[in-house]
Structure 1
Amino acid sequence: MSTADKKRGLGRGLESLLPGRPTPSVPSSVVTTAKAEPEAAPKAEITGKPLEIAVELIDRNPFQTRTQFDEEKLDELAKSITASGVVQPIVVRLSDKHKEDGRYVLITGERRWLASKKAGKATVPAMVREVSNVQAMEMTIVENLQRADLNPMEQAHAYARLSREFHMTQEQMAERTGQSRASVANFLRLLKLPQAVQMLVEAGSLTFGHARALLALENAEAIEKAASKVMALNLSVRSTESMVQGIIHPELKPEKEEKPKQPVDPNVRDAQDQLRRSLGLRVQIEDKNGKGRVIIEYTGVDDFDAILSALGNK
């Protein structure tokens, strides 16, 4: 996912997902202290101001796409909250049984909520929103993407969940999250990696670029073996791409030894490398005096769709 793609899509912000929606409040009896008993069937008051809601009345976001929280950074945030309070309110929604139990469900701001609990705060400032499950999940994904908090596997699982639980197409997911369709497709392809390799990507031991290069192998055993070699030799993404192509086309190696190729123009080589990194596929440019052809190899429908999307085909 390029920086340009990210900046172009994420400028909308969370509020653009919920234009003109009212914000329900809660009775003071449930927000003044974490130990207060909620009233039965409270009557909500419409207000646009943040409320102090008891931290114990807030449940975790079921659509949270981030699975890892840095405990050291949480401790730092807790110290900051102890000293200065929560600067930016979290965002919550009414639980399905709010009228009976007065509880809320997080939409965004889980780190601030967790740090507030660590800091021993009884309440946390929160904006209450009336949103559907789809909107809540969209807001969660957008916020995390804006803050660059998701690793590639977390993003892949987030898109998969949008597809599985809300039956969104890749086009719809791209539109809702401000990404390109090719970017969404590339993240979803990561789920085809063997579980062991997915764990390496999630831990940051392998980058998104490494993962895309390894996916060209398709065979799980070959991918795991290649991933181990990348780790052992600390290969760059470009070296990984070369290694993978050598595995896929071993027959090309003798030809290189017997018949050296003509020098490739640096501009052509650079364009070829850019296309390889952009598509995550094998690309070859054959150029003779400004004329030639571009060969793009694909190994499945998803690869073919990504090529069409990159060419501007809707």
Structure 2
Amino acid sequence: MPPSPDPKRRALGKGLESLLPSLKAEAAPPSTGKPLEIPVGLIDRNPFQTRTTFDEAKLTELAQSIAASGVVQPIVVRVLPGDRYQLITGERRLIASKQAGKATIPAIVREVSDEQAMEMTIVENLQRADLNPMEQARAYHRLSHDFKMTQEQMATRTGKDRASVGNFLRLLKLPETIQARVEAGDLSFGHARTLLGLGSPEQIASAAQKVMALSMSVRQTETYIHGLMNPESRPGKLEKQQIAEAGQDPNVHEAQTRLQRSLGLRVKIEDKKGKGKVIIEYANLEDFDALLTALNAQPTE
């Protein structure tokens, strides 16, 4: 019969545990749906996270809110070997909790596979509004590539329409340098989608540089790209006759066309024997500022 444990040793062990509390959280029951308080130091980052950047100002605001009121919505984790956990959703809340100096965070434990964890992470991120266009595009690509989802299935899971899913996926056809500009916010989703109308990566890169240099609006960009995709050739004999009958010199008409392509705005030249005026139409202040930039004038404040 084995000897009974030394009561002094038991007491010593108990005393050490009270002086040096273990970081181990209580054993997590399988998917109870009830949040547990888990030490933040035991939670590993999500390797399937599609978000690559975080707004530091918003993180600071969230940390201040958590410091004052705690975490309102629990994060979701799964159990790892070695009494550790892996984050599934709620990375901003976890980071902000650490910034707020919180020792623990409320978390719901789920029993899920690698594939289920990745799918949950991607879908949860896509349902948020603060992913940049390229992060969304890559997230949809992972759902398509890793989970063989159709665009219709992705739209249903994320609450988006199918056309939007397709448009985001198309962004991955942009040259990497332009993708970086979209991710940095120098080009919007609307700009990027319009640039895709051009054929080659070289054309896209060249047009994107001009769009950014002139701070073109999406509408201006659409006009500019349309002009590049449908270049008007030098007027032929029949067209010259039609222009002449309309009272416009063919050379003036060509100059008018070139100005429209260059500015991305509607231009009209009224010429009478070498004298006249150039009328440039703009729809809003963005168009006007872009025009002033193109003319090397000072944009409006």
Q: Does 1:36 align with 2:23?
A: yes
- TM-score, normalisation: structure 1: 0.64
Aligned residue runs from structure 1 range 88-107, under 5 A: 88-95=73-80, 97=81, 101-107=82-88
User: 1:1-314 alignment to 2 at 5 Å?
Assistant: 36-37=23-24, 44=29, 47-95=32-80, 97=81, 101-251=82-232, 254=235, 258=240, 259=242
Q: 1:146 to 1:233 in 2, by over 3 A?
A: same
Asked whether the 8 Å contact 1:34–1:55 carries over to 2, the reply is no
Which residue identity does 2:76 align to in structure 1? V
In 2, distance between residues paired with 1:43 and 1:236? 53
Task: Please give the alpha-carbon distance, in whole angstroms, between the structure 2 residues aligned to 1:163 and 1:252.
Answer: 42
Superposed CA offset, 1:194-250 (max 9, x none): 111111111111111111110011311110110011111111112111211211221
Structure 2 letter corresponding to 1:133:
D
Question: Which whole-Å deviations, capped at 9, do the CAs of 1:264-287 have from their partners, x for residues lacking one?
Answer: xxxxxxxxxxxxxxxxxxxxxxxx
SS state at 2:78 partner = strand
Query: SS where residue 73 of structure 1 aligns?
Result: helix
Counterpart CA distance in 2 for 1:43 and 1:51 is: 8
On the 8 A contact 1:55/1:122 being kept in 2, the answer is yes
- In 2: Cα distance, 1:253 partner to 1:157 partner: 43
Letter in 2 for 1:82: A
Determine if contact 1:201/1:211 at 8 Å carries over to the other structure. yes
State whether residues 34 and 122 of structure 1, in contact with CA within 8 Å, keep that contact through their aligned partners in structure 2.
no
- d(CA) in 2 for partners of 1:225 and 1:43? 56
**Which amino acid letter does the alignment assign opposite residue 162 of structure 1?**
L
In the alignment, the residues of structure 2 paired with residue 173 and residue 232 of structure 1 have an alpha-carbon distance, to the nearest angstrom, of 36
Gaps of 5+ in 1: 1-32, 263-314
Query: Aligned letter for 1:190?
Result: L
Runs of 4 or more consecutive aligned structure 1 residues displaced over 4 Å after TM superposition = 252-255, 257-260
Q: Distance in 1 between matches of 2:69 and 2:193?
A: 43
Alignment partner of 1:91: what SS? strand
CA contact (8 A) 1:160 1:188 kept: yes
SS where residue 50 of structure 2 aligns?
A: coil
Give the Å deviation of 1:254.
Answer: 4.5
What RMSD in Å do the two structures reach over aligned CA positions? 2.6
TM-superposed CA distance for 1:131, in Å, is 2.8
Equivalent AA in structure 2 for residue 64 of structure 1: Q
CA distance in 1, matches of 2:171, 2:201: 12
Give the direction of change, closer, same or farther, for the CA distance of 1:254–1:131 in structure 2 (3 Å limit). Answer: farther
* In structure 2, C-alpha distance between the alignment counterparts of 1:146 and 1:162, rounded to whole Å: 14
**CA 1:202 to 1:34, structure 2 compared with 1: closer, same or farther past 3 Å?**
farther
Calculate the TM-score normalised by the size of structure 2: 0.67
Contact 2:31 2:109 in 1 (8 A): no
CA deviation vs aligned residue, 1:276-314 (integer Å, no higher than 9, x gap): xxxxxxxxxxxxxxxxxxxxxxxxxxxxxxxxxxxxxxx
In the alignment, the residues of structure 1 paired with residue 71 and residue 21 of structure 2 have an alpha-carbon distance, to the nearest angstrom, of 16
**Shift in Å, 1:252:** 5.6
Number of equivalences: 222
CA distance in 2, matches of 1:35, 1:192: 51
Could you tell me how far apart the structure 1 residues matched to 2:210 and 2:63 are? 41
Q: For 2:38, what is the secondary structure of its paired residue?
A: strand
Identity %: 67
Check conservation: 2:74, 2:108, Cα contact below 8 A. Answer: yes
CA deviation digits over 1:119-163, x for unaligned, max 9? 221110011122333433333233333330211100000011112
Contact 2:30/2:110 (8 A) holds in 1: no
User: C-alpha separation between the residues in 2 aligned to 1:152 and 1:132?
Assistant: 28
Q: 2:33 aligns to what SS in structure 1?
A: coil
**1:183 and 1:133, CA in 2 relative to 1: closer, same or farther beyond 3 A?**
farther
Tell me if the contact between 2:30 and 2:109 (Cα under 8 Å) persists in the aligned partners.
no
Residue identity opposite 2:95 in structure 1: L
